[in-house]
């Protein structure tokens, strides 16, 4: 148990909550996607996360009310981390290479030496003959060594948690799974938070960053492309991975996904160019104002870049110049990817298919929101004795103050005592009592600065305090993958009932001309406005463990949308989200003689390449 100071404020729409001004006023340690503070990233306990200051909404109550419970509910508070500092050592990454969601899936592993070392928490390392088949069992794991041979041996392993398979010392250092050589120990992690998938597993590879990168480049770029484009990609991918690692290290059991959700990865690659590019740029990362840039990139910008803060992330710390090339009408890379196969395109989808995917996406987004609500700091049935206590000062809490026994934020049964301190106006509008800015590295200048209603509220404060409250669970629910979920401001309820689209209009564009907001006119007469990139994600949506649809909308940079009978025809440009480096554009520059540094300066304006280690 620990004291947990909070500040009281009104509940705000998430769009308002997302503004930097609000976060600054709350003094929250800001982050989502990307980045933990140094103290967290380097914390050897690594499963702890500094608790944020949690805003709490207070139900209106007259001071003279009879004894009645006052329910105090805090909205879910995304904790927006700052971008990580430039690391001094090479991080070890955890890459999820498969999400197996069938009941009790079977995993077959091999190694060129014919052996793997099996181990786990409390399990003495043991050599097993390959091929080895592994599947969950009631007591832990059923392992069959020599699977498929004349003399297979079944081993029942009693182990509640993950089981690991390491390449034996002196072997080729790979574990082969699903037709791919993975360059490091392979871990099977039971997934217990998806009741609909009993026995589900995640397959996770532990690998040092520099060993991971060649397999990213081998899949992200075409073999024929120039070395300088590979080097630029290596630095961007390294920076992105460092941010993801910093963010996820204390939140979930993997840092990145091998795939579009994070970065493509083929595991071990024999291609020389990716390895050369990684070696030549070893330890180099893109930095802006002393912190690593989460280097988003995509295939083809279509000549009109997107801004990260508008389309990919709601972390105000990502609202920085290097990720906001679309904030200026004149960009240095207009038409940079004119020779890309999807620079301009036309696609047709069945209206019913699009509606069905949007419904599924919206349904899952609502469930995710409900999950967040369940993790909200909830103060239930706070008993009052008919009078309010005077407010008292409470010192801010940081992670260190919580001590080593503090539960990780993603825990489930943690119980913390909270004491709130606030000023409340006579009209029950709330005023933030004090402002504590997060440590600034200058990103605020490029983030939205409009004051929030709570931050600007005025009135005659009347001392009040909220009595001791119980915090049930975590205050932060991270997104499920590398791209942060920003769908909170979409009309999800209406979208879950979408049956037919009458028309789709572009209602807002960024300075470069790329759509940022679309309006769907549905058959029921509703006008449903959502972010353009959310629309693309919804149309391309696949649930965890499902294959991604083969017919996917290329980008949210739509030029024209026409509903024709049962079909919807899209004319657009570009492929991917359009934030940061355009891969086809990078290759075009490299082919014209530009080096990696010039490429990166073009696509991440204001950022600098530095050597981290
Ligand atoms: Zn481009």
Domain ranges of the chain: 3-86+376-471, 102-190, 344-368+482-573
Helix (H, G, I), strand (E, B) or coil at 289: coil
* Dist. CA 272 → ligand 1 center (Å): 26
Closest CA to 414 of 378, 372, 381, 370: 378
**Orientation angle between helical segments 532-539 and 351-374, nearest 10 degrees:** 110
| pLDDT higher at 18 or 302 | 302
Backbone angles phi, psi at 374, to 5 degrees: -65, -25
Closest CA to 34 of 70, 64, 78, 74: 78
* Dist. CA 346 → ligand 1 center (Å): 18
Number of C-beta neighbours around residue 344 at 10 A: 16
* Dist. CA 302 → ligand 1 center (Å): 5
495 with 518: CB under 8 angstroms?
A: no
Number of C-beta neighbours around residue 116 at 10 A: 27
| pLDDT higher at 368 or 267 | 267
Q: Which residues of 184-198 are buried (b: 16+ CB within 10 A; e: fewer)?
A: bbbbbbbbeeeeebe
- Check whether 1 has a pLDDT greater than 90: no
CA 304, 308, 314 angle in degrees (round to 5)?
145
* Dist. CA 334 → ligand 1 center (Å): 7
484 confidence band (pLDDT: 50, 70, 90): very low
Backbone angles phi, psi at 273, to 5 degrees: -65, -45
* Dist. CA 209 → ligand 1 center (Å): 27
- Check whether 501 has a pLDDT greater than 70: yes
* Dist. CA 578 → ligand 1 center (Å): 8
Helices and strands, number each (H, E), in the chain: 14, 31
Share the mean pLDDT of the chain: 74
The DSSP secondary-structure symbol of 488 reads G
> Tokens 């520059």 map to which residue?
589
pLDDT at 68: 52
| pLDDT higher at 280 or 379 | 280
* Dist. CA 563 → ligand 1 center (Å): 28
The alpha-helical segments, DSSP class H, found in 521-582 are 532-539
Number of C-beta neighbours around residue 227 at 10 A: 16
Backbone angles phi, psi at 9, to 5 degrees: -155, 170
* Dist. CA 325 → ligand 1 center (Å): 12
* Dist. CA 594 → ligand 1 center (Å): 15
- Check whether 420 has a pLDDT greater than 60: no
258 confidence band (pLDDT: 50, 70, 90): very high
* Dist. CA 34 → ligand 1 center (Å): 24
320 confidence band (pLDDT: 50, 70, 90): very high
574 with 306: CB under 8 angstroms?
A: no
* Dist. CA 585 → ligand 1 center (Å): 5
* Dist. CA 584 → ligand 1 center (Å): 6
- Check whether 300 has a pLDDT greater than 90: yes
pLDDT at 491: 87
DSSP string, 106-132: -EEEE-TTSEEEEEETTEEEEEEESSE
**pLDDT tens column, 148-183:** 899 999 999 999 899 999 998 766 689 999 999 999
Question: What is the Cα 423 distance to its own chain's centre?
Answer: 34
* Dist. CA 574 → ligand 1 center (Å): 7
* Dist. CA 301 → ligand 1 center (Å): 4
* Dist. CA 551 → ligand 1 center (Å): 22
* Dist. CA 333 → ligand 1 center (Å): 7
Return residues with CB closer than 5 A to ligand 1 (ion). Answer: 301, 336-337, 582, 585
* Dist. CA 51 → ligand 1 center (Å): 40
* Dist. CA 229 → ligand 1 center (Å): 13
**pLDDT tens column, 181-239:** 999 999 999 988 776 677 889 999 999 999 999 999 999 999 999 999 999 999 999 99
* Dist. CA 201 → ligand 1 center (Å): 38
Share of the chain above pLDDT 70, in %: 66
DSSP H or E run through 568 = strand 567-573
165 with 171: CB under 8 angstroms?
A: no
- Can you tell me the distance from the alpha carbon of 120 to that of 148, in angstroms, rounded to the nearest whole number? 24
Q: Which residues of 472-497 are buried (b: 16+ CB within 10 A; e: fewer)?
A: bbbbbbbbebbbbbbbbbbbbebbbe
């Amino acid at each position: 148990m620990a004291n947990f100071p909070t500040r009281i404020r009104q509940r705000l729409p998430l769009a308002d909550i997302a503004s930097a001004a609000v976060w600054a006023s709350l003094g929250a340690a800001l982050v989502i996607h990307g980045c933990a503070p140094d103290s967290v990233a380097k914390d050897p306990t690594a499963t702890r996360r500094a608790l944020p200051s949690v805003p709490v909404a207070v139900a209106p109550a007259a001071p003279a009310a009879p004894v009645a419970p006052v329910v105090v509910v805090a909205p879910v508070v995304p904790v927006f981390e700052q971008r990580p500092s430039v690391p001094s050592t090479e991080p070890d990454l955890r890459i999820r290479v498969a999400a197996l969601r069938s009941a009790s899936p079977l995993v077959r592993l091999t190694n060129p030496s014919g052996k793997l070392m099996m181990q786990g928490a409390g399990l003495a390392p043991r050599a097993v003959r390959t091929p080895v088949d592994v599947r969950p069992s009631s007591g832990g794991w059923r392992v069959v060594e020599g699977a498929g041979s004349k003399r297979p041996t079944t081993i029942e392993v009693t182990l509640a948690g993950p089981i690991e398979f390491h390449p034996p010392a002196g072997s080729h250092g790979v574990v082969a799974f699903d037709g791919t050589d993975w360059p490091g120990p392979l871990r099977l992690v039971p997934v217990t938070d998806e009741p609909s998938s009993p026995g589900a597993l995640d397959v996770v590879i532990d690998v040092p960053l520099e060993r991971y990168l060649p397999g990213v480049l081998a899949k992200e770029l075409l073999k024929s492309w120039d070395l300088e484009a590979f080097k630029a990609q290596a630095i961007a991918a390294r920076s992105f991975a460092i941010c993801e690692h910093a963010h996820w290290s204390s939140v979930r059991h993997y840092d990145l996904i091998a795939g579009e959700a994070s970065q493509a990865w083929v595991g071990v690659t024999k291609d020389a160019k990716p390895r050369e590019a990684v070696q030549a740029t070893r330890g180099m990362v893109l930095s802006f104002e002393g912190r690593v840039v989460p280097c988003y990139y995509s295939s083809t910008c279509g000549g009109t870049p997107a801004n990260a803060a508008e389309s990919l992330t709601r972390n105000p710390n990502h609202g920085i110049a290097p990720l906001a090339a679309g904030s200026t009408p004149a960009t240095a890379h207009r038409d940079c990817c004119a020779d890309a196969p999807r620079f301009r395109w036309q696609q047709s989808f069945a209206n019913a298919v699009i509606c069905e995917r949007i419904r599924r996406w919206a349904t899952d987004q609502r469930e995710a929101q409900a999950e967040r609500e369940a993790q909200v700091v909830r103060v239930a049935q706070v008993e009052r004795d008919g009078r309010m206590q005077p407010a008292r000062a409470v010192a801010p809490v940081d992670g260190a103050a919580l001590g080593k026994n503090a539960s990780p934020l993603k825990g489930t049964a943690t119980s913390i005592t909270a004491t709130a301190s606030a000023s409340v106006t006579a009209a029950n509008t709330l005023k933030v009592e004090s402002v504590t800015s997060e440590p600034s590295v200058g990103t605020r200048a490029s983030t939205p600065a409009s004051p929030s209603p709570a931050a600007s509220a005025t009135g005659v404060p009347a001392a009040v305090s909220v009595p001791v409250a119980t915090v049930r669970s975590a205050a932060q629910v991270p997104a499920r993958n590398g791209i942060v979920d920003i769908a909170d401001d979409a009309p999800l309820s209406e979208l879950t009932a979408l049956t037919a689209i009458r028309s789709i209009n572009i209602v807002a564009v960024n300075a470069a001309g790329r759509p940022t907001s679309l309006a769907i006119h549905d058959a029921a007469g509703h006008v449903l406005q959502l972010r353009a990139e959310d629309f693309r994600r919804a149309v391309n949506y696949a649930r965890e463990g499902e294959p991604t649809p083969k017919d996917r909308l290329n980008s949210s940079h739509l030029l024209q949308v026409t509903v024709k009978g049962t079909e919807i025809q899209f004319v657009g440009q570009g492929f991917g989200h359009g934030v940061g480096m355009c891969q086809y554009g990078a290759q075009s520059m490299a082919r014209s003689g530009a080096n990696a540094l010039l490429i990166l300066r073009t696509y991440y304006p204001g950022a600098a390449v530095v050597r981290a280690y």
